[in-house]
Structures are given as C-alpha cells and as structure tokens.
Chains A and B, each alone.
Chain A
Amino acid sequence: MAKLRDIAKACKSKNAGPFEITIDVMFDDAITFDAVCRSGVISPALFSRLYNVPAESVQFSVYPPAFAFKASFERPIPSGAVGDTDVYGAQQHAPLLDVEIPL
C-alpha cells in the first residue's frame, strides 16, 4: 500500500468557475499512473465518499497524456459567497493525500 501523498506528482484543487471545484491528481510516469489506474481506487465513488457529494454528480476523467485523474463537482457554497472558506478553491485537495493505493 502507498499513500497518494507519497506517489503523486501533484494533488491540487481549484475553482472551475465560481460554482464548481476541480481536483487533479497527477503522477510522474506511465508505470505509476497505470498501476493507480489498475487499482481502481481513484473513481467517482472515492470523491463521493471524501466530499459527501453524489457519485453521479462527479464529472470524472482519466487523462493519460498528463498521467492524471480529474474530478469536478459542485462547491457547497459558491466562491466568495457568505460563509465560503476558500475563494480560489485551492486547499480542498487534502483529504485525498492519505488515500491508500494497493501497489
């Protein structure tokens, strides 16, 4: 088992417009990326569990040219609205860091 924080090249979040957040997990090379793909761990279900959003509302892409996974879903509060905590959406990736991948 390996934690994402130890094998990912990047794990980041950002607004995709004011109402959605998009999270990217990227790897250094095809070998790691393929192994993570095979594990099936990074999936809409994972984001659904970590962020408490319906799996069917997660727009999910596997993007081999960048050895990357991408998930986009609704923010609970739009960027900068009353009660928002992260205007740029840049610090919402952390729950992924401890996700374990069987390698």
Chain B
Amino acid sequence: MLSASGLLGYGFPEDSLKLGMQRDLHMVGVDGGSSDPGPHYLGSGKCVNSRMAMKRDMALLLKAAMTHRIPMIIGSCGGAGGEPHLQTCVDILREIAREEGFHFKLAVIHSEQKKDWLKGKLAAGKVHPLGAAGPLQTDTIDRAERIVGMMGPEPYLEALGQGAQIILAGRSTDPAPWAALAMHRGLPPAPSWYAGKMLECGTGAAVPKGHDCQLAAVGTDYVDMEPASPARRCTPLSVAIQALHENASPTIHKEPGGMLDTTDCRIEAVSDRTVRISGMRWTPQPYTIKLEGAELAGYSAMTIAGARDPGLIGRMDEFLKTVREAVAFKTGGFGVRADDYRLVFRRYGRDGVMGEWEPEHDATPHEVGLVVEAIADNQEIANAVIAIARVTLLHTDFPGRLCKEGNMAFPFSPSDIERGAVYQFSLRHVVEPDDPLSMFPIEYESI
C-alpha cells in the first residue's frame, strides 16, 4: 500500500509515486484531514488546503489507480471531513474524471451527524466524555455549527466489498483507509491497524523527513515499512520515533472498536532502508465513535502594533490595564458594554507564544509586538471595539511618557483587520453507535 503524503494537498514528488507504482501495489491513498489547523475549518466548511493543491495530488493518485486497476482511498476529505469538505473533494474528483475520461465505481462515505440523532443517543446514555470534558449538554449540541463522527475502517470495508474502486470519505480515524484495505484483503486487525497508523503521515516514519510517498507491506503478523524515494530510508529508530507523533501515548492507541498495543513490538532492519515491525496486538473493546464539533465563538477583528519605547515596555502590564479600562469607557459612549466583547492582548516578546505557561516573567525585551483582538456577537461591534482599542493604544498617556505623539508603530494601513466568524471546538465525547456502519451512509455512483 502507498500513502502519498501527510495530507491531500501538501504535494509529493511525482517520481516517488512512479517508483512506488513499480511495486505490486494493492492501493494508493492519502489522509485528507486533521483537527490540527484549529476549529475554523470544521466550523466554516472551508478546506484547509487549496482546491488547486488538492486537485494536483488527487489527479496523480487517480491516474495511478486507474492505470494499475487498484483502489484509491482518501479519508477525512478536505480537512475537517464535514459535508462541504467532502463535496469539494467529490467535485474535484468529477472534474479530473471528466478531463481524463476515467470511469470507475465511486463510494462517498458521509460523516456529518444529525443533532436530533445525537440528542437521542445522549438521552439513552450512549454518549461519554473524554479527558477533562464533562457530560455532554443538549445546548452544546444545539450550538454546534457542525458535528462529525470519526469513522473506523468498517464503512471503507463495506464500500470495498461492494466493489468501489475509488472511495472518498468524511472524517475518519487517520489509519482507516489503509487498515480497511489490509483487512479487506484478509489480514488480521493488528498489523492492518499498525500499517495505517504508520502510513497516515506519509514519510513521517522515514528520514530525512519531508512530504513524500511511503510504502507498507502487511503480512499476517508483521508490517514492512519502506519509503518510495531512494533519497529516504526507514530505520528502526525512525519508525520508533513515528510512534510518538500526535499520540498521547507511544504504545497504546485507542481506535474505534479496540486498542492497538505496540508495547512488545520488535523493530528490525531488513535492509538499509526497510524496517520490519512485528508483535503488535489488537484488543477488541466496546465500539465507540469519537465526535468532533465546532461552534461559533463570535466575530473577530484585530490589529497589529509594535512598541519600541523602553519606558512603555517597562510598564506594559499597567499600560494595557489602563488601555482596557479606557476602551470600555469609550465604547460605553456608543452603548457597547465591556461584557459585550472580549479584548485579547497577545504580547510578542513577552508571552505571546506561551501565554500563562511562559516561565520568563522578568526579561525586558527591546521591542514588543502586540496582536490585539476584539471578539463580539457581531462584526460591527468587533470592528468598533478594535478601532477604539487601536487609537487608545496609540494615545494613552503613562507616567514618564516621552513618546508623546504615539505609543505604537502600526505596520499597516488600514490597521484594523476584520477576521469574520471564529469558532471553537465544542465536543470531546464518544458515542456508542448501533453498529459501526450506522453513522456513516455510503453513496455509490458509476463515474
């Protein structure tokens, strides 16, 4: 099996795909999504990568799949894997098929969840919190802009069983496309899941790192990992390191319907660029599906400014407190109260990167960058607050002030930037489905 890169639209060398296709491949695939770019994409319906970049990657993979008569499978289409993201990818696929004259059986697997259905599950006690989350509330479901379930390999297995050659799916656990293909070919869950886990990040398990094609061969009790490009190689250490990536634990991976345990894995070099991993275990557990949801946090406007005056930098905390109070006073003049908005100061050079985790409290930098953001229930209020904040930052007096014409260097005109709707992740829960397929309707089509 081949994984083209870490994400559909990241790009990969065409030569690597050609080299990979010289092997006796049973599928090409790529992961399409992640929650890493934040809640905006799930909330807004926008794709994280550009249509142009996704089309370039998909066209090369589709051509390879057609030429070699093997499946092409893409999970978590368009980033967040919701309906608009999935439809963007289906649209790209149709366009490529039309341009190239390709014909195939397509399966589109949906992952968006209906609110009433989820409320029913909640009422039936079938929704459970993860980590520090509390029990799910009905209004959290109501407020959500969009809710997706992260499907396991079962809907893919069903589509493969129905003879689909091309599968585009909504939000999925990252290993699902490859785990499904391996299981479809009769291999046990443990090495199938392990291969998926290793493939979902492209050449993440190889050195040097980069966006490139990765190969995995799956046996009944082992997985062989080899990058497609001769410029990269897998070593026992590079494979071990990949196990740490984006997981809370390096050895225990919770997935729908079970747990992949790599505690007792043997990792051995079989050549200078291929590694064999064996001894992974799969322990079945009650079947649950992880939910992701995003809700509107408000509308945002921001401005960027820099301070170079040492007198001001030396008393930045008090200065910003004064500014915050002055902004509230001024916006009150046109009827906007302090609790109608949130005003956030990020102070680059002080604690702009780490916020409350920043341990260096006493350092005095020679300049400080401010990213100031106002969030309100509508754009008009956010814009009005940021405009007042901008002018208040510029002109507020402070003890010992020498820079009497202005406290801030604004690099841009206009200085205020409208950011539009902003979102926040709102669900951290799993649901017990009636069965692994029930949440993920599959549509078939002859293209």
Q: Which residues of A contact B (CB under 8 A)?
A: 10, 14-20, 22, 24, 26, 50-52, 59, 61, 63, 65-68, 70, 72, 74, 76-88, 91-92, 94-95
Contacts and interface: CB of A to CB of B under 8 A. Distances in A.
Given A19-B132, A92-B354, 17 more contacts: A15-B36, A19-B428, A26-B244, A51-B357, A61-B249, A63-B240, A63-B250, A63-B251, A65-B237, A65-B265, A68-B250, A70-B244, A76-B355, A76-B356, A82-B422, A82-B424, A91-B354
B241 A26 contact: yes
Given A68-B241, A91-B354, A80 B246 contact: no
Nearest to B371: A85
A77 B297 CA distance: 13
B308 to A, nearest CB: 22
B244 A20 contact: no
A59 B425 contact: no
Contact of A82 (B35, B37, B375): B375
Contacts of A14: 245-246
B75 interface: no
A78 B39 CA distance: 9
Contact of B248 (A26, A52, A59, A78): A59
Contact of A22 (B248, B342, B356): B248
A82 to B, nearest CB: 5
B425 A91 contact: no
Interface of B: 35-40, 131-133, 236-237, 240-241, 243-251, 265, 267, 297-298, 342, 344, 346, 352-357, 359, 373, 375, 422-425, 428
Nearest to A71: B248
Nearest to A86: B353
A81 B359 contact: no
A50 B359 contact: yes
Given A18-B39, A52-B357, A66-B237, A81 B424 contact: yes
Nearest to A83: B344
Given A24-B244, A80-B39, A65 B423 contact: no
Contacts of B40: 80
Closest 9 CB pairs of A and B: A80-B38, A65-B240, A66-B240, A72-B248, A81-B424, A63-B250, A87-B38, A18-B425, A16-B248
Contacts of B251: 61, 63
Contacts of A52: 356-357
Contacts of A68: 240-241, 244, 250
Instruction: Name which of B38, B243, B251 has the most chain A CB atoms within 10 A of its CB.
Output: B38
Nearest to A76: B356
Contact of A74 (B35, B132, B265): B132
A85 B353 contact: yes
A15 B246 contact: yes
A94 B354 contact: yes
A66 B131 contact: no
B211 to A, nearest CB: 16
A91 B132 CA distance: 23
A88 B36 contact: yes
A70 B425 contact: no
B283 to A, nearest CB: 18
A52 to B, nearest CB: 7
Nearest to B352: A85
A103 B422 CA distance: 48
Contacts of A86: 353-354
Given A14-B246, A19-B131, A20-B131, A78 B422 contact: no
B250 A66 contact: yes
B154 to A, nearest CB: 22
